[in-house]
Amino acid sequence: MNKKETTSGKQWRKILFFSSLCLLSFVSCTTQTAKTIDTSSSSLAPEVSQISLPQHDEISSLPSIDDMDDLKDDVILYSSIGSKNTYLLNEQKEIVHTWTSSYRTGSVCYLLDNGNLLHTGKDESNTTFKGGAEGGIVEELDWDSNVVWSYTYSSDQHLLHHDIQQLPNGHILMVAWEMKDGTTAKEEGRDPSLLSDDELWPDELIEIDPTTNEIVWQWHVWDHLIQSYDASKDNFGDVASHPELIDLNYVSTGKLATGADWTHINSIDYHEELDQILISSHSFNEIWVIDHSTTTAEAASHSGGNSGMGGDLLYRYGNPATYDQGARGDQQLFGQHSVHWIDQGLPGAGDILIFNNGAQREKGVNYSSVDERSLPVSSTGTYTKEGNTFSDAPLVWSYTAEDPTSFFSRSISGAQRLPHGNTLICNGENGEFFEITKDGEIVWQYENKENTKHNSVFRITAYPLSDEGLAALND
């Protein structure tokens, strides 16, 4: 792309871009039967719907101007894992714009309100941290892929990975690993038999002010530990009595269970009204909620902020065995990704949407689901407990394939609620995108085939033509 193109040339390309978006058409898909569970009705029994769909390639004619109001006018932003390109895809399955970075994608990318791209990049010079979705770099690219801002957080002591989240004030939340050597871990009470790499990478969150590139707030897993292994340590205690703390000696199953990548946070989201952060811990098979109203000092403690709990966990869900309040059969989340609150104004607003990857479900059957759950939270942001067990997050709606094992992504992936009530799903490992109705009917699908090496996609995000970022491009 010619970075020296004249302003007039840029405007003509944007006009052509928006003209192409106005040619979106409804695309039918292969016949498939899907299963959904909807518990939002008054009936006590879950409602299960089975839908037969039209045959592949039954494509409607291009819309006239009069038809435009009846069309779903989303465009989809995505980047293949390992690729330096980020794409905007329309519903006719056409790539309508491409950004190219100097870095391979770390994981996620987002469209900003000014029309620029917020992109995570992989610092391939960092050989210390290798845990999946490594990053280290966040950059803002303009329409022509020029870098207008960048931030690097990569060394032998820490590395950005997985997700980022822009806050309403323009600051950016980022997830990072921080290094704790084996000696430090054991001094905190880690069982030496659970240190197969002789080091741990507990997660931290940092908040960056892009105008100064300074860290203005931070939160560390390491500040909120409890353990029942070594009674000589200050954090020794009864794990079951402290659901707000993180057990230093909890490990998941599998060959990497005792490895360095201990908590493996893979998504973050922010709730402005509650001033809270939602975290997905892949290794714990849990979601966590923490208070963002704290100062950094309070976030490192057990008091302060709106909650009065400092940086302790306000809520956790998915695997009560992590705090000795449940068994294997009580686990509800299995390597989940893309956990976020459904935005205000969308169907299901206030609930959370989860891509529940489903590896190692009960009885060894692997299948994925997309789950909508309602958190037990008051209007003031407090969460209920029953004794020392956090209350359930009831299932509101769920999607699985009729043959459950035919829809499965062991890692990555995501889902998003759309304005008209449909849900957009990314089967990340296979690079498959599809949109379903509330009843599970697949109304659109796309398979990423960038090339033989770069087809997997960490996550996709749909933007309506009314989105501020797209509107900014059309100014």
Round to whole Å and give the CA distance between 261 and 178.
10
Please give the pLDDT value at position 474.
66
Residue 68 placed within a domain: yes
CA 82 to chain centre: 18
Round to whole Å and give the CA distance between 183 and 171.
35
To 10 degrees, the CA torsion angle through 64, 68, 74, 75?
30
User: Is the dihedral angle over the CA atoms 375, 461, 261, 451 positive or is it negative?
Assistant: positive
Please give the pLDDT value at position 409.
97
Q: What is the 3-state secondary structure (H, E, C) of the chain?
A: CCCCCCHHHHHHHHHHHHHHHCCCCCECCCCCCEEEEECCCCCCCCEEECCCCCCCCCECCCCCHHHHHHCCCEEEEECECCCCEEEEECCCCCEEEEEECCCCEEEEEEECCCCCEEEEEECCCCCCCCCCCECEEEEEECCCCCEEEEEECECCCEEEEEEEEECCCCCEEEEEEECEEHHHHHHCCCCHHHCCCCEECCEEEEEEECCCCEEEEEEEHHHCEEECCCCCCCCECCHHHCCCCEECCCCCCCCCCCCCCCCCEEEEEEECCCCEEEEEECCCCEEEEEECCCCHHHHCCCCCCCCCCCCCCCEEECCHHHHCCCCHHHCCCCCCEEEEECCCCCCCCCCEEEEECCCCCHHHCCCCEEEEECCCECCCCCECEECCEECCCCEEEEEEECCHHHCCCCCCCEEEECCCCCEEEEEHHHCEEEEECCCCCEEEEEECCCCCCCCCECCCEEEECCCHHHHHHCC
Round to whole Å and give the CA distance between 242 and 314.
11
Residue 436 placed within a domain: yes
Output the CA–CA distances (angstroms, integers) from residue 293 to 296, 299, 381, in the order listed. Answer: 9, 9, 11
**Residues 6 or more apart from 9 whose CB is under 8 A from it?**
none
Q: Is the pTM of this model over 0.85?
A: yes
Residue 196 placed within a domain: yes
Q: Is 48 exposed, middle or buried (0-12, 13-18, 19+ CB in 10 A)?
A: exposed
pLDDT in tens, 45-99: 333 222 222 222 222 222 222 232 332 468 999 999 999 999 999 988 989 999 9
CATH number at residue 214: 2.120.10.30
Residue 2 placed within a domain: no
CB 430 within 8 A of CB 408: no
Please give the pLDDT value at position 68.
28
**Residues 6 or more apart from 392 whose CB is under 8 A from it?**
317, 376
Residue 290 placed within a domain: yes
Q: Which residues of the chain have pLDDT under 70?
A: 1-34, 40-73, 255, 452-453, 473-475
Please give the pLDDT value at position 46.
31
Please give the pLDDT value at position 475.
64
Amino acid (one-letter) located at 343: D
CA 164 to chain centre: 9
Q: How many C-beta neighbours within 10 Å does residue 45 have?
A: 7
pLDDT in tens, 231-279: 999 999 999 999 999 999 999 887 678 999 999 999 999 999 999 999 9
Please give the pLDDT value at position 362.
74
Residue 271 placed within a domain: yes
**Dmax over Cα atoms in the chain, in whole Å?**
75
Residue 101 placed within a domain: yes
Please give the pLDDT value at position 452.
67
Range of the domain at 279: 7-473
CB 239 within 8 A of CB 321: no
Q: How many C-beta neighbours within 10 Å does residue 44 have?
A: 6
Residue 1 placed within a domain: no
How many domains would you assign to the chain?
1
